[in-house]
Amino acid sequence: MSENKKNNWSRRDLLKGIAGVPIVGSVWWAGASKGINNTQARDSILKTLNINASPPPPSGPMAGDPIRIGIIGFGIRGPQLCRALGFGQKSWLTSMTEAAKKNPKDTRLSSFLEQEHLNVHITAVCDLFDVRAQDAIDSFSTDEVKVQRFGTHQELVESNIVDAVVIATPDHWHAPIAIAALQAGKHVYVEKPMTHNIKETYALKDAVEASNVVFQVGHQHRQTQSFLTAQDVVNKNILGHVSLIQANTNRNDDNGAWQYPIHEKANPNTVDWKQFIGNAPMVPFNSEHFFRWRKWWAYGSGLSGDLMSHDYDRVNCILKMGIPSSVVASGGIYTHRDGRNVPDVMQVNMEFPDFSTGSSQVAGKEKGMTMVYSATLGNQYGRTTAFMGHDATMEVGNSLTIYADSKSTKFKEKLISEEMDSNIPIYQYDPASGSVDGVTSATAKYFADKGLLWTYRDGKRVDSTHLHLREWLSCIRNGGIPSCNIKEGFEEAISSHMGGLSYKLGRRIDWDKTKQEIVRVEGYNLDEVLLENKEKIT
């Protein structure tokens, strides 16, 4: 470059110098208008939807004297409930400490340690297997409070060292123990399904209504944030008329098919076999029946009671649609032909012909809904729970996603103006975007995805069972009715039983709403059908 050029600006230099400026201007204009557009579209969608989570079930302070709790049933679920109450088994604490050392991402121990103190004492345990009862005593006894073992639930509920009981026995024992506890004036937290047959469902309802203690059924997902948000979505009629709901179980491993380990120390000397059998038909000691009771109708409730009960209540807590007017079920034992008599593939169609979530079309055009529960224990493809409405589809698990329907009436204009796109969610709630911390097995992931393991409060991960127990304890201390009380439990139990009956009889089962009873089927005693330890009744 010459001296001369440095001193004099040529027009060419000027152009070459500032040529970038108009490009900056154009790019800026393009980016700004697109950014503003996106923001306006999003704001307008959110304003249209106006979704807010319903407040969680109220839960007050845990002050006052410690509540004294007796644990009845300390197998798989019992220890989980105790952890949710703040009591970790010694063996669990050891293995979690190791797991956290090996993998810093494993937050199971730290979440447990950070859990709120619920001001309870575990004072009593009743379990029929000596090893398990002893485990509870060894793990939870302190200098202050020694855990006392009771040989029968009756002695435990009548003792004056407990105020409340947590029942986590096999299904055939839920109602008898719950009724005994209520009659003894003890507060009850009972696992799902609430009952094992029809008759005891009514008996338990009467017992709860006659008592003045607090009763909660173990459907912990009622505490899950996504379900609370879903309630608001439905209340605001964002989905339009929901005509179909699909809910599923997909599991494909031994654990998921209830093939639980058999403890080597279990034998007629260490297990109170006679008591385990209870009202079920007596058979000689059988450790497989004891540990894998879910495989037989005599003790368990099959897919409809064990897993559909969760899905039914997940939907019922959002829609409050109650008991279906009719149920048709089918399926078979197709994936685990190992001597079980409950199905491992099952479809249950529940009809709600008079129910509607609301409508965006001419009055009277839409009414009625079907809920399809579809399950297999031979495949774990992750089918989602979907609420399918005329205006939108909502997928709910631990997260919640809503897609506008391309033929929606309500969102027609927004879809035409391309403000909404039916392939892109118009709303998404995902508490843990991208992270699946602490999920260690396929079955655990199955439960987590359904919102059954944990939820989020103020951005912190909390065990939903902890919150569910906390709600129960709060009602004991501060008054109030828990979110999964006898009405909800009754609806869950009857719906599950209708599924089981329809499967076993191979026919439609109807609900008489006025009489509040399952319509009789000529020639059959429905309770006997349900309890009979056979796959199908003909």
Partner 1 sequence: METDINLSKIGRNSLVLLRILIGWHFLYEGVLKLYNPAWTSKAYLSSAELLRPLFQWLSSDAMIHLVDNLNIFSLMVVGLSLLLGLFERIGSVFGICLLLIYYIAHPALPGASQVGTEGSYWIINKNLIEATALFVLYHIPTGSYFGLNLLRKILLAPQTK
Ligand X SMILES: NC(=O)c1ccc[n+]([C@@H]2O[C@H](COP(=O)([O-])OP(=O)(O)OC[C@H]3O[C@@H](n4cnc5c(N)ncnc54)[C@H](O)[C@@H]3O)[C@@H](O)[C@H]2O)c1
List interacting residues with partner 1 (CB under 8 A). Answer: 3, 6-7, 9, 13-14, 16-21, 23-24, 27-28, 30-32, 34-36, 38-39, 42, 104-105, 433-435, 459
User: Cα(492)–Cα(322) distance, rounded to whole angstroms?
Assistant: 8
Q: Which does 276 bind (CB under 5 to 8 A by kind): partner 1, ligand X, none?
A: ligand X
Q: Which does 18 bind (CB under 5 to 8 A by kind): ligand X, partner 1, none?
A: partner 1
User: C-alpha angle with apex 164: 161 to 166, nearest 5 degrees?
Assistant: 115
Q: Which does 113 bind (CB under 5 to 8 A by kind): ligand X, partner 1, none?
A: none
**Contact by Cβ (8 Å): 377, 250:** no
Burial bucket for residue 469 (CB in 10 Å: 0-12, 13-18, 19+) = buried
- Of 330 and 435, the one with the shorter C-beta distance to partner 1 is 435
- Of 126 and 473, the one with the shorter C-beta distance to ligand X is 126
- Of 140 and 276, the one with the shorter C-beta distance to ligand X is 276
Q: Which does 169 bind (CB under 5 to 8 A by kind): ligand X, partner 1, none?
A: ligand X
502 contacts: CB under 8 Å, gap ≥ 6? 327, 328, 329, 348, 508, 509
- Of 430 and 517, the one with the shorter C-beta distance to partner 1 is 430
- Of 203 and 519, the one with the shorter C-beta distance to ligand X is 203
Maximum Cα–Cα distance across the chain: 114
Q: Smallest distance, Å, CB 256 to partner 1?
A: 25
Q: Smallest distance, Å, CB 519 to ligand X?
A: 27
- Of 41 and 62, the one with the shorter C-beta distance to partner 1 is 41
The helix/strand/coil state of 375 is strand
- Of 72 and 377, the one with the shorter C-beta distance to ligand X is 72
The two tokens of residue 479 are: 């008054």
Binding site for ligand X (CB under 6 A): 72-78, 126-129, 132, 153, 168-171, 173, 191-192, 218, 220, 275-276, 293, 306, 452
- Of 6 and 102, the one with the shorter C-beta distance to partner 1 is 6
Q: Smallest distance, Å, CB 418 to partner 1?
A: 17
Concatenating the DSSP letter of every residue in 461-512 gives EEEHHHHHHHHHHHHHHH----TT-HHHHHHHHHHHHHHHHHHHHTS-EEEE
Burial bucket for residue 156 (CB in 10 Å: 0-12, 13-18, 19+) = buried
Q: Smallest distance, Å, CB 60 to partner 1?
A: 27
Which amino acid would we find at residue 116? E
Q: Quick one: DSSP state of residue 121?
A: E
Q: Which does 218 bind (CB under 5 to 8 A by kind): partner 1, ligand X, none?
A: ligand X
Burial bucket for residue 48 (CB in 10 Å: 0-12, 13-18, 19+) = middle
- Of 171 and 366, the one with the shorter C-beta distance to ligand X is 171
Q: Which does 317 bind (CB under 5 to 8 A by kind): ligand X, partner 1, none?
A: none
The two tokens of residue 502 are: 């329809």
User: Cα(77)–Cα(88) distance, rounded to whole angstroms?
Assistant: 13
Q: Tally Cβ neighbours within 10 Å of residue 291.
A: 20
Q: Smallest distance, Å, CB 30 to ligand X?
A: 52
Q: Smallest distance, Å, CB 310 to ligand X?
A: 7
Q: Which does 77 bind (CB under 5 to 8 A by kind): partner 1, ligand X, none?
A: ligand X
Residue of minimal CB distance from ligand X? 75
Q: Smallest distance, Å, CB 384 to partner 1?
A: 20
Q: Smallest distance, Å, CB 404 to partner 1?
A: 18
Which amino acid would we find at residue 373? Y
**Residue 166, H or E segment:** strand 164-167
User: Cα(283)–Cα(274) distance, rounded to whole angstroms?
Assistant: 9
- The β-bridge partners of 326 are 351, 510
- Of 8 and 160, the one with the shorter C-beta distance to partner 1 is 8
**Contact by Cβ (8 Å): 47, 464:** no
Q: Smallest distance, Å, CB 489 to ligand X?
A: 12
Q: Which does 128 bind (CB under 5 to 8 A by kind): ligand X, partner 1, none?
A: ligand X
Q: Which does 373 bind (CB under 5 to 8 A by kind): partner 1, ligand X, none?
A: none
Q: Smallest distance, Å, CB 19 to partner 1?
A: 7
Q: Which does 433 bind (CB under 5 to 8 A by kind): ligand X, partner 1, none?
A: partner 1
